[in-house]
Homo-oligomer: A and B are copies of this chain.
Amino acid sequence: MAAALSHEKLSETHRPTLDQALDAIRTRAYWSPHPEHPKAYGEGGVPGSLGPAEGKAAFDAVLHTRLDLGQPGTDGWTGGEVSPYGPELGVEYPHIDPDVLLPAMSGAMGSWRAAGPETRALVCLEILARINARTHELAHAVMHTSGQAFVMAFQAGGPHAQDCGLEAVAYAYAEQTRTPEAADWSKPQGKRDPLRLHKSYTAAGRGVSLLIGCNTFPTWNGYSGLFASLATGNPVLVKPHPRAVLPLALTVRLAREVLTEAGFDPNLVALAAERPGEGIAKSLALRPEVKIIDYTGSSSFGDWLEANAGQAQVYTEKAGVNTVVIDSTDDYRGMLSNLAFSLSLYSGQMCTTPQNLLIPRDGITTDAGAKTYDEVVTDIAEAVGGLLGDDARANGLLGALVNPDVKARLEAAAALGEVALASRAVANPDFPDAVVRTPVVVKLDGAKPDDGAAFLSECFGPVSFAVAVDSTADALTLLRRTIREKGAMTVGAYTTSPDVERAVEEVCFDESAQLSLNLTGGVYVNQTAAFSDFHGSGGNPAANAALCDGAFVSNRFRVVEVRRQA
């Protein structure tokens, strides 16, 4: 292979990182090769990376241009993203003819398969390194499609997303190399000669993998599936959310660059941007070439994919209703400030943000004395209000509402109960058109789950319900029912009672939900760290897969054995 990026060069650069990643998914201790501080990039930082000004300039340079990826089957151009902060992005992307592009992608599989798991992993790591070097550029792209504040777009959309991609590569490599490349098999036959066979085992990808991206976390929610599929030998067609194309288009461009330099067909990664209202996800999902689908978005389309794309392995992250059970605490201040941050971060527009706070009507015990339901709710409201009292800080935490639907839900929520904390509009001096809102906290006392209560549906956005319950036992019954019927990406609980702790754990074991207990410091229930935490469980209706585990990668390829008489 006369490629610019030889296996040897890739191995020298990336094999140590791969080994560290493999170690991290086994120990689950903290680890990341991707610095999360913006100042770590640029001169003196990550080698070859763009610094703050360079990243911003790169982002500005791509605006109002046509992003030609050189893909076969390009039958036109489309675009039209408008930043939640106001500006039109004006970038045009290739529109695809799937009858041309999909066969080209399938045709790229043979040499990618033949390259083997290690080379595939190393190429993926090179792609991630190129992405990492352009984190500042991507941060602006994520900010101006998702509405995240810059620092969050930088961290969650940059290093944390890159961690997710690397974690998936590590799982994919580990899974494919559980079976050796070859084995000699010799079965004793008593006094006769043993039976002997030479066997080879080849990890073979399944076919085109379709990534259906989301609006709020285009890279964070996309990279796990993208890299899991690519590393296991599958071409990946990236279909971004129409309002969040740019971060994934830039990703695809870097992937195609690296694949070419490494001597592979760039069509192993391609972009499928769509025209307004075209809805191409549905038709692409049913194409016979598509054997794997990764999806993040609404439950209705996720359920449709699971039920209808029978030719494909379908991995979905859908909607859920996240609950925090508040029973008691020995750090009342810590609990309040931790919850306030969780409810505020990115205006609650995270699939992991708590929605329902279950509080006993008779109150809770705390290190600051007994607190009634009303007091707890008031104190939470005050904590949120205090956290977001300063507009600059509020802008930095909240970001902008991603679309008018979120704003509409926020405005409607106030009518659902007694408003403990009203939402307020925050002015953004840099982007006057941005819609920035603080969370609303609504008290629900007496709402019964069987009345079709609003709190039992996902109300995506900065809306929380402080639900009064008869007792902690009732809270656990409601928690179990919520997870089982509606799903949950996260569960939180505060308690000083070992019995309650055990009981809430049992509910989460039974119903397969990830639990955070007594968080009062700088880690929040809505955050998951790659290599250590699992994002979702795959065992309740919120998601049919966890990011990332063996099940997420093991069915993206099949092992084909060839036996020969030895």
A residues adjacent to B (C-beta < 8 A): 25-30, 109-110, 113, 174-175, 178-180, 183-189, 195, 197, 199, 201-202, 204, 206, 306-307, 310, 505-506, 508-510, 512-523, 529, 532-534, 537-539, 546, 549-551, 554-555, 558-565
- Sample of 20 more A-B contacts, CB < 8 Å, known A508-B560, A554-B554: A26-B178, A27-B180, A27-B183, A29-B183, A29-B186, A174-B178, A185-B532, A195-B521, A195-B522, A204-B509, A204-B512, A513-B560, A514-B561, A515-B562, A515-B563, A516-B564, A519-B565, A537-B559, A537-B560, A546-B558
Residues in B with CB closer than 8 Å to A509 are: 110, 113, 202, 204, 560
CA distance A551 to B559 in the complex (A): 11
* A197–B565 touching, CB < 8 Å: no
In the assembled complex, 26 residue pairs joining A and B whose CB atoms fall closer than 8 Å, in A order, are: A28-B201, A29-B183, A30-B185, A110-B506, A110-B510, A185-B529, A195-B521, A204-B510, A204-B539, A206-B512, A306-B310, A514-B561, A515-B561, A515-B563, A516-B562, A516-B563, A516-B564, A517-B563, A517-B565, A518-B564, A519-B565, A520-B565, A523-B563, A523-B565, A538-B555, A551-B551
CA distance A375 to B24 in the complex (A): 61
Residues in B with CB closer than 8 Å to A554 are: 549-551, 554
Residues in B with CB closer than 8 Å to A113 are: 509
7 pairs of A and B residues whose beta carbons are closest in the complex: A539-B558, A551-B554, A28-B183, A550-B554, A551-B555, A30-B187, A517-B564
CA distance A100 to B11 in the complex (A): 58
Residues in B with CB closer than 8 Å to A513 are: 560
Residues in B with CB closer than 8 Å to A197 are: 523
- Minimum CB–CB distance for A343 against chain B, Å: 18
* B518–A565 touching, CB < 8 Å: yes
CA distance A509 to B561 in the complex (A): 9
CA distance A290 to B562 in the complex (A): 36
* B185–A29 touching, CB < 8 Å: yes
Residues in B with CB closer than 8 Å to A506 are: 110
Residues in B with CB closer than 8 Å to A195 are: 521-523
* Residue from B306, B523, B538, B558 in contact with A537 in the complex, judged by beta carbons closer than 8 Å: B558
- Nearest residue (CB) in B for A206 is B539
CA distance A564 to B546 in the complex (A): 20
- Nearest residue (CB) in B for A532 is B185
* B204–A532 touching, CB < 8 Å: no
Residues in B with CB closer than 8 Å to A187 are: 30, 529
* B307–A310 touching, CB < 8 Å: yes
Given A110-B506, A517-B563, A562-B505, are A550 and B185 neighbors across the interface (CB < 8 Å)? no
CA distance A564 to B519 in the complex (A): 7
- Minimum CB–CB distance for A442 against chain B, Å: 27
- Minimum CB–CB distance for A565 against chain B, Å: 6
Residues in B with CB closer than 8 Å to A533 are: 199, 561, 563
- Nearest residue (CB) in B for A200 is B505
CA distance A25 to B178 in the complex (A): 8
- Minimum CB–CB distance for A181 against chain B, Å: 10
Residues in B with CB closer than 8 Å to A563 are: 514-517, 519, 523, 533
CA distance A547 to B206 in the complex (A): 18
Residues in B with CB closer than 8 Å to A565 are: 517-521, 523
CA distance A523 to B196 in the complex (A): 8
Residues in B with CB closer than 8 Å to A202 are: 509
Residues in B with CB closer than 8 Å to A109 are: 510
* A538–B558 touching, CB < 8 Å: yes
Counting chain B CB atoms within 10 Å of each CB, the highest count among A109, A187, A506 belongs to A187
CA distance A27 to B184 in the complex (A): 9
- Nearest residue (CB) in B for A303 is B310
Counting chain B CB atoms within 10 Å of each CB, the highest count among A518, A533, A546, A555 belongs to A555
CA distance A554 to B306 in the complex (A): 19
- Nearest residue (CB) in B for A194 is B30
* Residue from B186, B512, B516, B555 in contact with A558 in the complex, judged by beta carbons closer than 8 Å: B512
Residues in B with CB closer than 8 Å to A505 are: 562
Residues in B with CB closer than 8 Å to A537 are: 558-560
Residues in B with CB closer than 8 Å to A188 are: 30
- Minimum CB–CB distance for A480 against chain B, Å: 13
- Minimum CB–CB distance for A558 against chain B, Å: 4
Given A521-B195, A522-B195, are A180 and B26 neighbors across the interface (CB < 8 Å)? yes
- Minimum CB–CB distance for A262 against chain B, Å: 21
Residues in B with CB closer than 8 Å to A508 are: 560, 562
- Nearest residue (CB) in B for A190 is B37
Residues in B with CB closer than 8 Å to A204 are: 509-510, 512, 539
* Residue from B28, B518, B521, B559 in contact with A534 in the complex, judged by beta carbons closer than 8 Å: B559
- Minimum CB–CB distance for A483 against chain B, Å: 11
Residues in B with CB closer than 8 Å to A523 are: 195, 197, 563, 565
* A28–B564 touching, CB < 8 Å: no
